[in-house]
Amino acid sequence: MEAQPDGNDMKWKATTRVALIALLAALAMNALIGIIIVLKGDFGDTEGKLLGTTFALALFTVLAIPSTVQLGRGRFYALAGFGISVSVISFILAVSAIWSDGAFEDALLTKLMVTFGVMAFASNHAALLLLASAAPKVIKVMLIATITILVVIAAALITSVWAEDMPKELARPLTVFAILDVLGSMAVPMLSKLNRLSAS
């Protein structure tokens, strides 16, 4: 007898489908506007704002996919909800800056955009890492360490933005942490894949 898909599996597939459709729609809209602007031969202020808006939509849609998938799988609700929320807020701030004259010269708006942008990237990066299977202890430790480093980097960047200064003493350790984060982000899914292959 063929097994019936459970509710969580169906919800995961539906949520993922919606996210992918939204992404494809944003990319198609961006391409269409770009083609129209090129054929029109007149790249004015309005056309630039439209292109910037659709690019921002595509960017933050892609960014929020890991959190959307986690939410659809019924895992890490707090992280997934936070990741989606800050991505939406980042998009709204970006669109506000694009359509408001001189908005990019507003220090407060710039700080808010960077703050929510960093939080959106960090939270969705963490959600992406958590998609990997972390059964062996070494993978769990590496996963936790990578996410911890990611949080430290995000906190340091946000603090530096609001303080309008990054001490030289902080720059070097932050660079080391960034390298370790990249290493961990690559190693965790690779080790997870190797573990699954070994178990099969």
Q: How many C-alpha atoms does 73 have within 13 Å on its Cβ side? A: 14
pLDDT tens digits for 117-161? 999 999 999 999 888 766 678 888 888 999 999 999 999 999 988
pTM comes to 0.78
For the residues 30-57, what does the mean pLDDT come to?
76
- pLDDT category, 179, cuts 50, 70, 90? very high
Find tokens 């909800």 and name the residue.
Answer: 81
pLDDT at res. 124? 93
User: Encoding tokens for residue 54?
Assistant: 């659709």
- pLDDT category, 172, cuts 50, 70, 90? confident
